[in-house]
Structure 1
Amino acid sequence: MIVQMKDVKKHYKQFELDCTMEIQSGRITGLVGQNGAGKTTAFKAVLGLISTDGGEITVLGKNPSKLLPSDKTRIGVVLSDGGFNEYLTVKNVASVMSAFYPDFDKMNFLQRCDRSGLQQDKKIKDYSSGMKAKLKVLAAMSHDTDLLVLDEPTAGLDVVARDEILDMLRDYMMDGERGILISSHIATDLEGICDDFYMIHEGKIVLHEETDVLLSEYGVLKVDEETYAKLDRQYISQVKKETFGYRCLTKNKQFYLENYPGIVVENGNLDEVILMTIKGERI
């Protein structure tokens, strides 16, 4: 287990985190939810950037406060509000990283920057948003890390830049022993790369599911009021009233396809699950 959070609590004036989740080696785990749901707070708790008010956290087998400098070099981080001084160049970044991380592979980093179109002598302030994002991810994975913690690494990027970053993350996971904890508002990005998801809402984990299960077994039923009244709801988890009748989230779409051939059953996806979990009523 690379990361384990058990009943971790953090109290603020108008918000409380109460989080249990784990990140296993060889897996990419997504953390999803609305703005203000607690994603960044959870990330900062994992990284030891904030104190907690209860529960247990282990990262690479230790409490974050007990991590040695040599342990911390095994963790690569991209935070949504972080980045390098924009008056630096890639060469400057490489020199800084070399000074801080004994295992930083400067030559490999510069070669990967070249392949990604990041000019070594160009100031970061003159890069596009996509280039800045690629630089942060490349730097995070270039010092022999076992864990990447990525908070919105593809935010605001076009589809090509996002795909390039996702390819970087797939390459990073090739050895099968590393782990990634990642958040994003772009559901299709996470669906294409994550092994499992945690959904956080108002500081609490409200759903944990394997990606394959979510995409293959979840579904959304759209039924009128008459059909809804007769519907077997044993496999319905959330319901939302609509103008046409009801939208229903199910974890067993096959049951309804087989037993209600006349109703509309759409394939499940992450956006629908988030919408229904937040806006729907639990059965």
Structure 2
Amino acid sequence: MDRMSFVPGTPALDAIENANGRIYTTRAGAIDYANEFILKCPSGPQPLLYRLFLTMLSDGDELEIKFSLRDPTRTEHDDPAGELVGHTWAVLKAATGGEKLLYEVGRKTDPISDVDAAKAFNGYRKLLAVFHTSSTGMSLMDTCPPTNPIDIPLPPPRLPPPATAPIRSISRALSPSNLYFAAGAMFYFVDLSMVAPSRPEFFSTPLHLSRPMQAFDALILSALVTLAIGAPPLVFSVLQANECLGVMPDAYGRAAYALAPECRPEGGRIVIVG
């Protein structure tokens, strides 16, 4: 939990800008991320996921992540919140030839479901409580239980995409506008529980969150987890008022876009973008 106090800023935004819309990851990179983010996961390592990271890429295999951002054309509508047009996608390029699309996300991708937002909030609170326990020996959860327990009434699950659809969506937190406009202000989290979000069989499965990370690391880690488990994981970012950083939040709001009017943190409340 050495990075729970990490506050995004200029270096996080610079990392995204310096990538110039393209990131490559190889087998060596997967092993580095396994050692850095899975073995050092604040809620404990995931042995199976760790082994998959070590073996799922062969020498010469390459993960390519691309993201682009632009103004809408005359034939494209303006987003009411002002979000620009763009896509983020991850592709596996095998050394033996051929490509496999792992996920794609854009501004028309649905935000995370009510169930996932509640789980993200509870997971963030739990992670924060673990950090405070390790730092002070006293858990904030003892005096501040979750206000949005996971056993909230569940909405109907999202309909699965058509079987012929080649595109697999992932969290809106990784859309280009969120990458550029949230990178310098938000914590990013990737679920390492090896379950796909919003599937009915996983509604009661608790999250196994990574430690807070920059958007750049979240892009790479989410692509690697997608390759490992065969489905995109839950990814989200959290915006919290500066005066309340590190304080257990009492409630959360939701936003699909980092600069949307409803994305306004305040005392006791965080905003989840996903």
TM class, shorter-length: under 0.3
TM-score by length of 2: 0.24
- Greater relative contact order: 1 or 2 (C-alpha under 8 angstroms, separation 6 or more)? 2
Higher strand share: 1
